[in-house]
């Protein structure tokens, strides 16, 4: 049976992603310009000791003409972690760039994420294979996975499998944790003098893998446009029915970049930014009181409706809850085997007996369902799975309780009816926006140029993203430059530092300047669906966050 594709997918297959000018002129066989030596973002002495072969590398830009014809390369690529729109275009850009280096170059796709490297499960790409996935969403070209590559026996399997296939370069497409593992792998392969290069590509729709050289991670643009369309639809419904408060939890475990971008796009009644909660040391009671005041203010104007945006990771930013979660993470890591044998009631009793008095008090006031969610299995990094904690429902319950208390005192006369939503998976596999299609293709192409230049331990970088694509600047940033030490599974481990929302920068300050007006007025914006065809000002614009940052 012939595979059926939609008219949109057929049209998108014909889209030609735009590239930085240096690649349009010279292909991927370009000469790198080296900057000054670098150092890690923090814990320089410790990171240097852990990564002696990859620490201090210079930043690279590709701004010059073509070098000599490239040597024959066999490369491998993996998709690691959660899906993000544009991953297929990273692979397409990498494939095309490798073929530009040398038409005989080959690209192997390891299936199912990092485990594909250790299990030697792969496909060999050809033109027909790649063409089927150009400009499409998802990671289904080879699949993804969350296996962590961090142990020497895993690295040795990677070496053996690559040697057997003749592979001399690996590209890891992933987020901060995946690229932390890529950094560890690059260090080990250099230490063992294997001749195998490792290059990373910055993927995470959460937007928390960013810095001066990585202006955004891919997928963030598309995902926030998808979420903003849905938020706009809900706001239109709220403004039509005029009887519900909609609490919308948004993806973003460790940072509120998605929440902030969606707020700037849609202008909701109320939005929480987790980093502000942490900075102001706001208690759960204070957050609830602020939301309840917004509900009360609108009720007094005859408006018993509104939209509240809630970051997925909010609960970890509330100081007393963060301290509680940190204690729980360490406690469960140290007592995992014993804890698994206990009943639900015994688990609660065990935890209460081990927590400090401050954390025990915070734990005791939480609803039973939230307590259970806090004690669920940890993720592969030893952290609580905040996406499974129904923070939006917790806030609805607590706001409702406070409003009932005010009503009993005659301080509130409105009606609080609500709906809850969680926007997560809806955005992870969307067809990439023109921006992400171009950016991802450029990231993959840049990775091929880094391979051609013989580099290892670098993250593909494409900058100046508010300019037209032909003015983007491609290069590479050392993975060790973004590292610091963090507490994982009760131990200090080297990881790429997550980028949080900066409260002194223009995106957040723009939000602050407008939020009181959004509470009082119905300032809702309705962005509508992603536009793939049409004028540049409609179809090719990057996020509001990037535009304000520049």
Closest by CA to 205, choosing from 133, 271, 267, 139, is 139
Q: Which contacts qualify for 383-389: CB closer than 8 Å, 24 or more apart?
A: 383/329, 383/488, 384/316, 384/325, 384/328, 384/329, 386/253, 386/312, 386/313, 386/315, 386/316, 387/251, 387/253, 387/312, 387/424, 389/315
User: What does the alpha-carbon distance between residue 47 and residue 83 come to, in Å, rounded to a whole number?
Assistant: 29
Whether 540 is catalytic:
no
8-state DSSP, 57: P
- Give the burial class of 340: count Cβ atoms within 10 A of its Cβ; 0-12 exposed, 13-18 middle, 19 or more buried: exposed
User: What does the alpha-carbon distance between residue 455 and residue 307 come to, in Å, rounded to a whole number?
Assistant: 48
Cβ 274 vs Cβ 256: under 8 Å? yes
Report residue 527: phi and psi, to 5°. Answer: -65, -30
Report residue 474: phi and psi, to 5°. Answer: -95, 150
Determine the angle formed by the axes of helices 391-408 and 284-300, rounding to 10 degrees: 60
- Which token pair is 352? 């209460």
Active-site residue, selected from the candidate residues 206, 221, 436, 540: 206
Q: Go through the chain and tell me how many residues it has.
A: 550
3 state SS of 107: strand
H helices of 249-377, in order, are 257-266, 274-279, 284-300, 319-334, 336-340, 344-354, 357-364, 368-374
What's the CA dihedral at 29, 30, 36, 39 to 10 degrees? -40
User: What does the alpha-carbon distance between residue 201 and residue 459 come to, in Å, rounded to a whole number?
Assistant: 6
What is the Cα Rg of the chain in Å?
A: 24
C-alpha torsion sign, points 56, 19, 170, 62: negative
HEC string of 58-76 equals EEEEEEEEECCCCCCCEEE
* Active centre residues (catalytic): 206
């Amino acid at each position: 049976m012939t595979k059926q594709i939609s008219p949109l997918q057929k049209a998108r297959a014909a889209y030609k992603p735009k590239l930085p000018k240096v690649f349009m002129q010279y292909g991927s066989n370009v000469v790198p310009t080296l900057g000054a030596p670098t150092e890690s973002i923090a814990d320089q002495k410790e990171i240097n000791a852990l990564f002696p072969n990859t620490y201090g590398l210079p930043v690279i830009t590709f701004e010059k003409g073509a070098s000599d014809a490239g040597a024959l390369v066999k490369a491998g690529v993996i998709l690691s972690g959660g899906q993000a729109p544009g991953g297929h275009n990273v692979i397409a850009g990498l494939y095309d760039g490798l073929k530009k280096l040398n038409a005989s170059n080959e690209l192997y796709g390891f299936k199912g994420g990092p485990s594909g490297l250790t299990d030697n499960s792969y496909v060999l790409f050809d033109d027909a294979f790649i063409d089927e996935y150009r400009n499409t969403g998802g990671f289904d070209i080879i699949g993804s996975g969350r296996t962590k590559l961090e142990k020497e026996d895993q690295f040795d399997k990677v070496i053996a499998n690559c040697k057997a296939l003749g592979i001399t370069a690996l590209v890891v497409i992933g987020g901060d944790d995946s690229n932390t593992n890529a950094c560890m792998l690059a260090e080990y392969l250099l230490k063992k003098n294997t001749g195998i290069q490792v290059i990373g590509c910055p993927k995470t729709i959460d937007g928390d893998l960013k810095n001066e050289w990585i202006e955004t991670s891919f997928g963030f643009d598309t995902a926030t446009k998808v979420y903003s369309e849905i938020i706009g639809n809900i706001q239109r419904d709220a403004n039509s029915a005029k009887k519900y408060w909609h609490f919308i939890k948004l993806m973003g475990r460790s940072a509120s970049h998605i929440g902030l971008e969606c707020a700037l796009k849609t202008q909701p009644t109320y939005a929480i930014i987790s980093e502000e909660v942490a900075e102001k040391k706001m208690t759960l009671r204070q957050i609830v009181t602020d939301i309840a005041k917004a509900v009360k203010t609108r009720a007094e104007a005859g408006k018993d409706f509104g939209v509240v945006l809630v970051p997925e990771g909010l609960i970890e930013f509330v100081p007393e809850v963060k301290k509680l979660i940190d204690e729980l993470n360490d406690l469960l890591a140290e007592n995992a085997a014993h804890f698994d044998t206990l009943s639900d009631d015994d688990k609660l009793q065990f935890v209460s007996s081990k927590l400090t008095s401050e954390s025990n008090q915070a734990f005791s006031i939480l609803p039973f369902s939230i307590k259970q969610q806090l004690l669920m299995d940890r993720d592969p990094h030893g952290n609580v799975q905040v996406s499974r904690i129904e923070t939006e429902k917790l806030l609805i319950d607590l706001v409702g309780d406070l409003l009932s208390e005010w009503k009993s005192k005659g301080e509130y006369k409105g009606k609080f009816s609500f709906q809850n939503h969680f926007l997560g998976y809806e955005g992870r596999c969307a067809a990439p926006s023109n921006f992400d299609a171009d950016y991802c293709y450029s990231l993959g192409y840049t990775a091929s140029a880094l391979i051609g230049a013989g580099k290892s331990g670098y993250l593909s970088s494409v900058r100046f993203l508010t300019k037209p694509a032909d003015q983007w600047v491609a290069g590479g940033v050392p993975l060790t430059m973004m590292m610091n030490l963090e507490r994982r599974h009760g131990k200090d481990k080297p990881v790429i530092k997550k980028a949080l929302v900066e409260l002194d920068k223009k995106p957040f300050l723009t939000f602050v300047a407008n939020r009181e007006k959004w509470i009082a007025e119905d300032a809702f914006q309705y962005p509508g669906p992603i536009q793939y065809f049409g004028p540049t000002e409609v179809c090719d614009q990057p996020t509001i966050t990037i535009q304000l940052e520049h």
